């Protein structure tokens, strides 16, 4: 586990290092946004971030780690934006659907970026478990927050429900980024799933 982890902000002592890390993730973000998974080439990232290829690999041990970390940063950002305002909606399902729609619309506005990040997520193996896990927790917590705003205690069923919704969301996203379903179908399917799970 310790053998192949991405360097987190906390691992980095100097300001220069934190800056390198940021430049790398910024470059990754831009390349992904412009050309998707295939455009995020390690040499291109290194060039754009003004960093040697070997250094890039010291910070992120693989392309997958790199993309999943970039996904994590974006997700944190989305989550903090979401946290600023209370979630509108009378019922849990209305609020969950609001969160999903908002998030999905954000992703669908950046198809290349979404394709790159989703592909990476799906291809990630055990060595990326840490990065994946933190993204998963973030998503689950966003969903449980929408279900029970401000709640401090959650039942097992709440968490399980959130995870199922997360699964559906991921499958729908994969189908969409691989061109196997349209944005409209994706939304409809997710709404349907929420309705089936949260009958309120």
Partner DNA sequence: GGACGAAGTGGAACGTGTTCCTATTATGTC
Partner DNA sequence: GACATAATAGGAACACGTTCCACTTCGTCC
Work out how close the CB of 189 gets to a copy of itself at its nearest, in angstroms, rounded to a whole number: 7
Nearest to 114 by CA among 49, 41, 47, 172: 172
Work out how close the CB of 128 gets to a copy of itself at its nearest, in angstroms, rounded to a whole number: 8
Nearest to 79 by CA among 28, 41, 134: 134
The C-alpha atoms of residue 118 and residue 130 are separated, in whole angstroms, by 16
Provide the 10 A C-beta neighbour count for residue 28: 28
Q: Are 62 and 103 in contact, with CB atoms under 8 Å apart?
A: no
Residue 192 binding: pick among DNA, a copy of itself, none (C-beta 5-8 Å cut-off by kind):
a copy of itself
Residue 10 binding: pick among a copy of itself, DNA, none (C-beta 5-8 Å cut-off by kind):
none
CA 2, chain centre distance (Å): 23
Q: What residues have CB less than 8 Å from 46, skipping those under 6 apart?
A: 52, 53, 55, 56
Task: Figure out which of the listed residues 1, 3, 10, 16 binds DNA, where binding follows CB under 7 A.
Answer: 16
51 sits near DNA (criterion: CB under 7 A)? yes
The C-alpha atoms of residue 9 and residue 87 are separated, in whole angstroms, by 30
Give whichever of 31 and 124 is closer to a copy of itself, judged by the CB atom.
Answer: 124
Nearest to 198 by CA among 151, 165, 173: 165
Task: Figure out which of the listed residues 49, 124, 135, 146 binds a copy of itself, where binding follows CB under 8 A.
Answer: 124
Work out how close the CB of 175 gets to DNA at its nearest, in angstroms, rounded to a whole number: 20
User: Which 137-166 residues touch a copy of itself, going by CB under 8 A?
Assistant: 157, 160-161, 163-164, 166
Question: Which residue stretch of 37-45, 98-106, 151-159, 160-168 sits at the interface with DNA (rule: CB under 7 A)?
Answer: 37-45
Which residue ranges make up the site for a copy of itself (CB under 8 A)? 119, 122-126, 129, 132-133, 157, 160-161, 163-164, 166-168, 170-172, 174, 178-180, 189, 192-193, 196-197
């Amino acid at each position: 586990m310790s053998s192949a982890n991405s360097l987190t902000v906390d691992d980095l002592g100097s300001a220069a290092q934190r800056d390198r890390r940021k430049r790398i993730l910024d470059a990754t973000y831009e390349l992904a946004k412009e050309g998707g998974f295939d455009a995020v080439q390690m040499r291109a990232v290194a060039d754009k971030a003004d960093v040697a290829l070997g250094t890039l690999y010291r910070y992120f041990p693989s392309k997958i780690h790199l993309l999943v970390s970039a996904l994590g940063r974006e997700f944190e950002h989305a989550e903090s934006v979401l946290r600023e305002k209370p979630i509108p909606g009378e019922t849990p399902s209305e609020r969950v659907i609001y969160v999903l729609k908002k998030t999905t619309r954000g992703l669908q506005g950046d198809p290349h970026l979404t394709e790159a990040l989703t592909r990476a997520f799906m291809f990630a193996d055990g060595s990326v478990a840490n990065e994946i896990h933190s993204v998963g927790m973030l998503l689950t917590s966003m969903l449980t927050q929408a279900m029970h705003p401000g709640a401090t205690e959650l039942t097992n069923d709440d968490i399980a429900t959130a995870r199922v919704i997360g699964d559906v969301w991921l499958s729908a996203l994969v189908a969409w980024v691989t061109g196997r379903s349209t944005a409209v179908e994706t939304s409809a399917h997710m709404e349907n799933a929420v309705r089936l799970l949260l009958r309120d």
